[in-house]
Amino acid sequence: MTVLALIGGQWGEEGKGKFTELLGESAKVVVRYSGGGNLRQPVMNEQGRFNLQFIPRSIFNSKVITVLGAGMVLDPKRLVEEMEALTGMGINLKRLFISEQAHLIMPYHPIFEEQERRVYGTPVIDTMGSGLGPAYADKVSRIGIRIGDLMQEEQFLSRLSKTLTVKNEILTKVYKQEALNLRDIYQQYLSYGRSLRERIFDTRLILQKALDDGHRVLLESDQGSMLDLDFGSYPYVSNAAPTVGAACVGCGIPPMAIQGAMGVFGAYIIRAQTGPFPTEMAKEDSAPLIHFRNMEGTVRNGRRPTNPITGEKYRRFGWFDAVAARFVAQLNGLTSIGLTYLDGLDHHKTVKICTAYQVHDSSITRFPSDMSTIKVASPIYEEMPGWETSTAHVKHFEDLPPACQNFVQRISQLVGVRVDMVSTGPNREDTITLRDPFTLAPGPRMHTTNYLS
């Protein structure tokens, strides 16, 4: 297998970055093919302490080519700042390339996002005030500006002038906001273009060369698959395309090139958005996780516990949802599972897995496609004994407590996909590897507990 897609299997916050770094070690090229950047992805390694937004963690491997794909929407100001911070810490960016087809977030996009949220009451999902949604809307409307346009000054001025004329009309007359200055934006974005010029490229050529030569390629999504615009719990979904199906158009390779797909799932679910959440934990069940995550986030990396726009609790917690996980596995054709956050459940006497939903007087095992059903669905749980001992930093599956092993195996059974990697802590070495996802050949999914043979 040469091309592996890596996706989030839940609502984001699954910990994909660690697997990107680990799997990227054996890859020639790592591509982020969708999204508009994380709020902040803290990374601590032997090279220092970093906050990544757009660039995958493969950037720390000097042997890997890192690509920001055509499916991304980029804020050039934040991207330049991120790159300058990395180079200031001694990270070599010569093997970083940005697709010339990637679209740009312009200064009017965050303003439109804020005003549309105020008028329409649209949920805050992945945008966090960045302008991601309006930027994707302009892309679809064919009035977007791509990063490659910055290399063509006259073309860029022409496109910006036409677009800004209409945007200013809406801003001033509909939203009662001040008009934006064409000259200021034009000069500002040309300066970003000069800073990024050496990294902007037709990245399809890089990928095609890697495929022709038989090199391993890792394709990384942004967000989680349950936030997909079409198949997620609409309208509580992402503007990005976080499924395996989007990887082809997001990076420019044919569908048959993707030979495997790994879904990253948390042993418990972390959700950082509003919207229906069938397995959301009761207060007494989530209390240990709130403490665990706040300690991990605040002490280790300073992540904010509240949404910076709404002020709402930043994280919500839920039990593992096998109904949603099966849906994600089928939708994406998963060949492998990476499981994270096992150590977060170390203090629970009983752990739960949702195996079906109760909807009125019926029990269903499929994930509903309509919001009205999702809102009234209540989880039917299978309860299992907890292990009540630390799993942190365990490196071999047989060293996990038996109850924990049973929990992992049961997840594999219910989802119908093998668990091939298990994270037992934030560090790279805190990982159990049962099988290399790159070596898998697509075949029948495992449905028995004897999946380690």
pLDDT tens digits, 126-183: 555 688 889 999 999 999 999 999 999 999 999 999 999 999 999 999 999 999 999 9
**Cα angle 271-47-37, degrees, rounded to a multiple of 5:** 35
Q: Is residue 91 one of the residues assigned to a domain? A: no
pLDDT of res. 413: 95
Q: Which amino acid is at 284?
A: E
Instruction: Show which of 198, 230, 260 is a domain's final residue.
Output: 198
Q: Is residue 343 one of the residues assigned to a domain? A: yes
pLDDT of res. 395: 93
Residue located via tokens 């977007």: 144
Q: Is residue 321 one of the residues assigned to a domain? A: yes
241 with 263, same domain? yes
Q: Which residues of the chain have pLDDT under 50?
A: 297-313, 441-453
pLDDT of res. 431: 92
Taken in order 364, 370, 373, 377, the sign of the CA dihedral is positive
Among candidate residues 254, 250, 213, 281, the one with its CA nearest the CA of residue 102: 250
Report how many domains make up the chain: 2
Q: Is residue 92 one of the residues assigned to a domain? A: no
160 with 236, same domain? no
121 with 246, same domain? no
pLDDT of res. 72: 93
> Residue 190 is encoded by which pair of tokens?
């040309």
Among candidate residues 66, 58, 151, 62, the one with its CA nearest the CA of residue 104: 151
Residue located via tokens 């207060």: 283
41 with 127, same domain? no
Taken in order 244, 73, 19, 345, the sign of the CA dihedral is negative
pLDDT of res. 222: 85
CATH number at residue 166: 1.10.300.10
Q: Which residue segment(s) compose the domain that 37 sits in?
A: 3-73+206-439
Q: Is residue 363 one of the residues assigned to a domain? A: yes
CA atoms of 161 and 169, how far apart (whole Å): 13
Q: Is residue 444 one of the residues assigned to a domain? A: no
CATH number at residue 327: 3.90.170.10
176 with 256, same domain? no
Q: Is residue 369 one of the residues assigned to a domain? A: yes
Residue 169's Cβ-count burial label (10 Å; 0-12, 13-18, 19+) is exposed
Among candidate residues 99, 25, 13, 101, the one with its CA nearest the CA of residue 59: 25
**Cβ atoms within 10 Å of 241's Cβ, excluding its own:** 24
126 with 184, same domain? yes
